[in-house]
Chain A
Amino acid sequence: MRPTVRFLSDQLIEQIIAEARQLLCKLGVEIHNDTVLALLGDHSARIDNSAQRAYFTPDIIDRSLQAAPDSFRLYNSLGNEAVDLSDMNVNFTPGSSAINILDHESQHSRRPTSKDYVKYTKLMASLEHIASQSTAMVPGDVHEMISDSYRLYLSLMFCEKPVVTGAFTIEAFEIMKELQLAVRGSEKELAERPLTMFSCCPTAPLKWSNVTSQNLIDCARYSIPVEYISMPLSGFMAPITLVGSLVQHTAETLSGLAISQLTNPGTPVLYGGSPAVFDVRYETTPMGDIGTMMMDCAYSEIGKHLGLPTQAYIGLSDAKLLDAQAGFETSMGATLAALSGINNVSGPGMLDFESCFSLEKLVLDNEICGMVKRMVGGIEPKEDFPSLPRFEELLREGHLLISEHTMKYLKEEVYLPGPTIDRANRSRWQEEGSRTLGERAAEQVETMVAQHQPVGLSDTVLSDLTSLMEAEARRHGMSRLPEIR
């Protein structure tokens, strides 16, 4: 049996959805994009152009829900399946777009450079339990107008895993699409084998900005998957109650779904989000808050009820260092996410309200992901019945260490973590230098990065990617890209 957790009854889910639909139809959504307003108008939504407001209809919502696929897959840069976003499958991806990196040497946070980013993508190639990479940090040493596309470029150059990403402007979509076409060869190939997924955020409450709603349309046109990232902030930009915030989240997400599906019926989407409880003492949006995590799991239940695959920013921490708080908030989130069957879990590596990334934490979190994936594998009999022969064997041999049964199921049954997790007895731990978690993780980072192998893309594709990126950099006045080799 796969272990699961539920926070909402079916009845409550249906009530929340009904309320959200009513908000969409009665209150409408403010959309700062004429193309989107026209699109909704074409499908009989009432449009108040002066207020930039669209009043949805039940028909629009139903049709979008029918059109949206209940699952899809992401493929790596070589075209092989890498992420299965269906049913209760759980996949992890690093937190995205950090402003800073936690520098292991100094233990201070600072702006990431291209070099940090390359180290990150090389590391990602080795992390077994994190299925996709994300554009996890924003390098500070390139022109700000290319800082979104440049991350995607570096990711494709050094790691084959699919990329969870996003654009900061409308214009950036073009180059980010071109980079993907360079890898896949054609629009058809790209649509059939999605390589990236874009995060697109509505603005609380019930609003879409010009940029993010245009990103939705542009992605849909190329069947590039998107994840809707609605962020109700409970008690501030949303009702204080979790139910009230969920109503808002549902409405905002359904409005995004409509924009995507009316643009291109069947385009792949994830029912996602990054809600947070607002901390009324520090004026912050804690991702490690238990209410935040409960909302994530609950809206995933709503998404599944609507027949959609889901995503959440969960399994990350607000701590500033790789400390116990970082560990417990991340583990708690990752565990809950896995039990909820959230299909794409964005979190590993992230600290400080989604603003600081740590490579050492990423290595630790890879272990957390491994453990929770083992957990959802559940407890199943494996040649355990009848049990008599096995116990006879144990009594006869005095141990089962080399039993055939042990050899067959050792790897499957026991999750053995990497060297970052301390499992030595005290004497051995002391003899090996009494090292802290941070030190072990840092060593593991270096080991894994050193093992990095070039990606399997052809030299032609690699040089196409570089030419595209260089041209984009020149367009913004950078004569050349930072040295990355």
Chain B
Amino acid sequence: MDTLQRLSENMQKGNADQVARLTQQAIDEGCEPKTILDDALVGGMAVVGEKFKKHEIFLPHVLLAAKAMHAGMDLLKPLLVKDGIPTIGKVVTGTVQGDLHDIGKNLVGIMLKGAGFDVIDLGRDVSPEKFLDAAVSEKANVIGMSALLTTTMPVMKKVIALAHERNVRNQLKFIVGGAPMSKEYAQEIGADAYCYDAVSAVESVKRFMGAH
């Protein structure tokens, strides 16, 4: 069995030590860092995501796989940077101003990281200004906003309006989620996607980055 396949399988099982070892082995064998990332790690996480959706594995297994992936990413990152290969995407996440619910948002962050994206988490109670300041300074591709209260969801609209005001709307995608949100509301406020859970959030960001 070749190294990349073993790497992918070990990552799917959540064997972080093996993932680090096999990533190093693949590098030593002369594999392109970008190939290791795409074929073994990101590819493996896609399989994990599929299995999770079908209830073949559960959330803890997904997080274990994500953690294992990072053991490999840590070794690949410096090489990718050296090769001038951009990261696969950067997402700024936060729960909107006035809202303290962050469990769902955190889960989305973990899963995005697991899928290989860079995640800058701004925490809870995040003002529109803070969202945009961070997205611009971090050169993020996506802003992910969470709201669990009907009273705080209108803040999302303000964030998007501010992006227009600052002339950065075109370079950013907006994804939104949380119990009071819906596809219709997301459309109404001009967000790019509504995601009902963390897996669908990963899918959306992947779609955006593919199109980038």
Q: A144-B152, A237-B103, A353-B179 are in contact. Are A283 and B58 (CB under 8 A)?
A: no
Q: Are A355 and B179 in contact (CB under 8 A)?
A: yes
Q: Are B150 and A111 in contact (CB under 8 A)?
A: yes
Bitwise interface map of B from 129 to 169 toward A, beta carbon under 8 Å scored 1, else 0: 00000000000000000000111101000000000000000
B198: interface (CB < 8 Å): yes
A169: interface (CB < 8 Å): yes
Identify which of A168, A236, A281 contacts B151 (C-beta below 8 A): A168
Q: Are A281 and B198 in contact (CB under 8 A)?
A: no
Interface residues of A in 261-314 (CB under 8 A from B): 280-283
List of B residues within 8 angstroms of A282 by Cβ: 197
A145: interface (CB < 8 Å): yes
Q: Are B100 and A283 in contact (CB under 8 A)?
A: no
A147: interface (CB < 8 Å): yes
- Min Cβ gap B108→A in Å is 9
Bitwise interface map of A from 155 to 185 toward B, beta carbon under 8 Å scored 1, else 0: 0000000000000110000000000000000
Q: A203-B100, A280-B59 are in contact. Are A99 and B154 (CB under 8 A)?
A: no
Interface residues of A in 54-111 (CB under 8 A from B): 99-100, 111
Q: How far is the CA of A353 from the CA of B196 in the complex (A)?
A: 14
Identify which of B98, B107, B150 contacts A283 (C-beta below 8 A): B107
Q: A99-B180, A111-B150 are in contact. Are A281 and B55 (CB under 8 A)?
A: yes
Q: Are B150 and A138 in contact (CB under 8 A)?
A: yes
List of A residues within 8 angstroms of B179 by Cβ: 99, 353, 355
- Min Cβ gap A245→B in Å is 15
List of A residues within 8 angstroms of B60 by Cβ: 235, 280
Q: Are A283 and B59 in contact (CB under 8 A)?
A: yes
Counting chain A CB atoms within 10 Å of each CB, the highest count among B55, B103, B104, B197 belongs to: B103
Q: How far is the CA of A236 from the CA of B198 in the complex (A)?
A: 15
Q: A99-B180, A280-B60, A283-B59 are in contact. Are A144 and B100 (CB under 8 A)?
A: no
Q: A283-B107, A283-B197 are in contact. Are A99 and B150 (CB under 8 A)?
A: yes
Which A residue sits closest to B124, measured CB to CB? A209
Q: How far is the CA of A66 from the CA of B104 in the complex (A)?
A: 38
Which B residue sits closest to A284, measured CB to CB? B197
Q: A281-B55, A355-B179 are in contact. Are A145 and B198 (CB under 8 A)?
A: no
List of B residues within 8 angstroms of A237 by Cβ: 103
Bitwise interface map of A from 117 to 146 toward B, beta carbon under 8 Å scored 1, else 0: 000000000000000000000101000110
List of B residues within 8 angstroms of A148 by Cβ: 151
List of B residues within 8 angstroms of A140 by Cβ: 150
Interface size class on chain A is: 20 to 34
Q: How far is the CA of A211 from the CA of B124 in the complex (A)?
A: 13
Interface residues of A in 209-243 (CB under 8 A from B): 209, 211, 233, 235-237
List of A residues within 8 angstroms of B98 by Cβ: 169
Interface residues of B in 91-114 (CB under 8 A from A): 98, 100, 103-104, 107
Q: Are B150 and A144 in contact (CB under 8 A)?
A: yes
Which B residue sits closest to A240, measured CB to CB? B60
List of A residues within 8 angstroms of B152 by Cβ: 144
- Min Cβ gap B154→A in Å is 6
List of A residues within 8 angstroms of B154 by Cβ: 144
Q: How far is the CA of A254 from the CA of B152 in the complex (A)?
A: 29
Which B residue sits closest to A352, measured CB to CB? B179
Q: How far is the CA of A167 from the CA of B123 in the complex (A)?
A: 22
Which B residue sits closest to A168, measured CB to CB? B151
Q: How far is the CA of A111 from the CA of B150 in the complex (A)?
A: 9
- Min Cβ gap B180→A in Å is 5
Q: Are A236 and B103 in contact (CB under 8 A)?
A: yes
List of A residues within 8 angstroms of B59 by Cβ: 280-281, 283
Q: Are B149 and A168 in contact (CB under 8 A)?
A: yes
Q: How far is the CA of A483 from the CA of B98 in the complex (A)?
A: 28
Q: A144-B151, A168-B151, A283-B198 are in contact. Are A211 and B107 (CB under 8 A)?
A: no
- Min Cβ gap A166→B in Å is 12
Q: Are A147 and B151 in contact (CB under 8 A)?
A: yes
Q: Are A280 and B151 in contact (CB under 8 A)?
A: no
Which A residue sits closest to B152, measured CB to CB? A144
Q: Are B150 and A147 in contact (CB under 8 A)?
A: yes
Identify which of A100, A211, A353 contacts B100 (C-beta below 8 A): A211
Counting chain A CB atoms within 10 Å of each CB, the highest count among B107, B151, B198 belongs to: B151
Q: How far is the CA of A451 from the CA of B100 in the complex (A)?
A: 41
- Min Cβ gap A356→B in Å is 10
- Min Cβ gap B16→A in Å is 20
Q: How far is the CA of A203 from the CA of B99 in the complex (A)?
A: 12
Interface residues of B in 50-66 (CB under 8 A from A): 52, 55, 58-60
List of A residues within 8 angstroms of B198 by Cβ: 283
Q: How far is the CA of A291 from the CA of B30 in the complex (A)?
A: 52
Q: How far is the CA of A200 from the CA of B198 in the complex (A)?
A: 28
Interface residues of B in 18-62 (CB under 8 A from A): 52, 55, 58-60
Which A residue sits closest to B101, measured CB to CB? A203
List of B residues within 8 angstroms of A145 by Cβ: 151
Q: How far is the CA of A452 from the CA of B190 in the complex (A)?
A: 43
List of A residues within 8 angstroms of B103 by Cβ: 233, 236-237
Q: A99-B150, A144-B151 are in contact. Are A209 and B100 (CB under 8 A)?
A: yes
- Min Cβ gap A31→B in Å is 13
Q: How far is the CA of A147 from the CA of B98 in the complex (A)?
A: 14
Q: How far is the CA of A353 from the CA of B178 in the complex (A)?
A: 12
Which A residue sits closest to B107, measured CB to CB? A283
List of B residues within 8 angstroms of A211 by Cβ: 100
Q: How far is the CA of A144 from the CA of B104 in the complex (A)?
A: 22
Could you list 11 further interchain pairs (A-B, Cβ under 8 angstroms) beyond the known A147-B151, A233-B103, A283-B59?
A100-B180, A111-B150, A144-B150, A203-B100, A235-B60, A237-B103, A280-B58, A280-B60, A282-B197, A283-B107, A353-B179
Of all A-B residue pairs in the complex, the 4 with the closest CB atoms, nearest first, are A144-B151, A280-B58, A280-B59, A99-B180
- Residues of B near any A CB (own CB < 8 A): 52, 55, 58-60, 98, 100, 103-104, 107, 149-152, 154, 179-180, 197-198
A-B contact pairs, 17 of them (CB 8 A): A138-B150, A140-B150, A144-B151, A144-B152, A147-B150, A168-B151, A169-B151, A233-B103, A236-B103, A237-B103, A280-B59, A281-B58, A282-B197, A283-B59, A283-B107, A283-B198, A353-B179
